[in-house]
């Protein structure tokens, strides 16, 4: 008989294409939500005495739209899936919620802007049910029918200046750097679908900003992005090797969390973990949802608790690759 816990958490699956197995672990906190604090990433007044130094929630690729399914993408179901994730993040007492891109469904060039804006408003309302700090990464499909300015004006990145598509913030002793790789090779921004989905770049001005951010950082760093910084193929951006060199040269980057590649993935390159979260939009039913809670422990080891189809793993600090989580 399947338990409620088994229905929510990811479980092991052979041939998943991941470097480690998935195992159900870490009961989510069911503690009271009393003691909420407003503002920034200080969402909760305190953590459990023996708990992690920082806990945050991740989801990616809802591709929401009021539309019929297309192949494996069930666009309309993403509202309910995101709602479940947000409720679990509240229960787990995460300090903030980060969405890693593609809030919006794949849209044709002749799709009415008004419909796209309505879809964006609907899915952002679900994100904001969280009630605390939220951060977004821009995805390529967010720009199928809109400009970056239009999207950024309608989403909430807590404490970040309006109009910033890449930015940084600190929380719980960690510096988070949010990237935007939605640029053509000539440096132009994606805008109303003027892109080939296989052409992504981090432009020179953002690379310079990234280098300075890492140079100035006095805390360990976690990178949040949409397209993949690791691996080879169409889901990765062009100058990723150069950007990984910037990460590695800083000696400060613990991990990179990213989306875009719907099946998910993991790799470990020169001391940095690259975790690609599975997409919310894929397949029908709540059992096919995917989202995760990340714990940063005092020794800078990370624990990813995957829910539904998302993969759980331990990301040790230092030179060791990820391993399956230990039951607790």
Task: Round the CA-based radius of gyration of the chain to a whole number and report it.
Answer: 18
Farthest-apart Cα atoms in the chain, separation: 56
Q: Are the C-beta atoms of 273 and 19 separated by less than 8 Å?
A: no
Q: Tell me what pLDDT residue 42 has.
A: 56
**Within 13 Å, how many C-alpha atoms sit on residue 213's CB side?**
24
CA 221, CA 307: separation in Å to the nearest integer? Answer: 24
pTM of the predicted structure, to 2 decimals: 0.86
- In a 10 Å sphere around its CB, with 0-12 CB exposed, 13-18 middle and 19+ buried, how is residue 246 labelled? middle
CA 28, CA 154: separation in Å to the nearest integer? Answer: 31
Q: Are the C-beta atoms of 53 and 47 separated by less than 8 Å?
A: yes
Architecture of domain 53-315: 4-Layer Sandwich (3.60)
Using alpha carbons, select from 285, 306, 283 the residue that is nearest to residue 294.
306
Report, as an integer, the average pLDDT of 26-52: 40
Q: Which residue has the higher pLDDT, 221 or 324?
A: 221
State the DSSP string of 145-189: SS-HHHHHTTS--TTPPTT-SSEEEEETTEEEEE----B-TTSPB
Residue 109 scores a pLDDT above 80: no
Residue 43 scores a pLDDT above 60: no
Residue 300 scores a pLDDT above 90: yes
Residue 236 scores a pLDDT above 90: no
Handedness of CA 240, 246, 251, 256 (dihedral sign): negative
């Amino acid at each position: 008989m399947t338990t409620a816990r088994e229905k929510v958490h990811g479980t092991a699956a052979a041939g998943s294409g991941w470097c480690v197995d998935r195992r159900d672990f870490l009961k989510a906190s069911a503690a009271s939500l009393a003691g909420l604090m407003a503002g920034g990433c200080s969402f909760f007044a305190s953590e459990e005495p023996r708990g992690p130094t920082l806990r945050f929630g991740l989801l990616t690729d809802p591709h929401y739209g009021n539309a019929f399914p297309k192949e494996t993408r069930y666009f309309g179901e993403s509202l309910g899936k995101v709602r479940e994730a947000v409720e679990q993040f509240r229960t787990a007492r995460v300090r903030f919620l980060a969405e890693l891109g593609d809030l919006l469904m794949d849209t044709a060039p002749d799709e009415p802007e008004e419909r796209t804006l309505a879809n964006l408003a609907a899915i952002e309302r679900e994100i904001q049910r969280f009630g605390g700090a939220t951060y977004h990464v821009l995805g390529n499909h967010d720009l199928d029918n809109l400009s970056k300015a239009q999207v950024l004006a309608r989403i909430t990145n807590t404490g970040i200046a309006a109009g910033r598509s890449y930015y940084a913030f600190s929380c719980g002793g960690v510096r988070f750097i949010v990237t935007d790789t939605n640029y053509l090779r000539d440096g132009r921004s994606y805008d109303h679908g003027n892109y080939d989905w296989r052409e992504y770049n981090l432009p020179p001005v953002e690379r310079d900003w990234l280098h300075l951010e890492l140079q100035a950082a006095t805390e360990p760093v976690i990178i949040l992005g949409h397209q993949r910084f690791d691996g080879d193929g169409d889901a990765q951006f062009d100058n990723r090797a150069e950007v990984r060199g910037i990460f590695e040269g800083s000696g400060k980057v613990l991990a990179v969390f990213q989306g875009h590649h719907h099946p998910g993935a993991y790799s470990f390159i020169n001391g940095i973990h690259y975790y690609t979260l599975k997409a919310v939009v894929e397949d029908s039913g709540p059992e096919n949802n995917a989202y995760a809670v990340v714990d940063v422990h005092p020794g800078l080891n990370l624990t990813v608790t995957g829910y539904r189809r998302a993969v759980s793993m331990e990301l040790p600090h230092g030179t060791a690759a990820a391993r399956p989580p230990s039951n607790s």
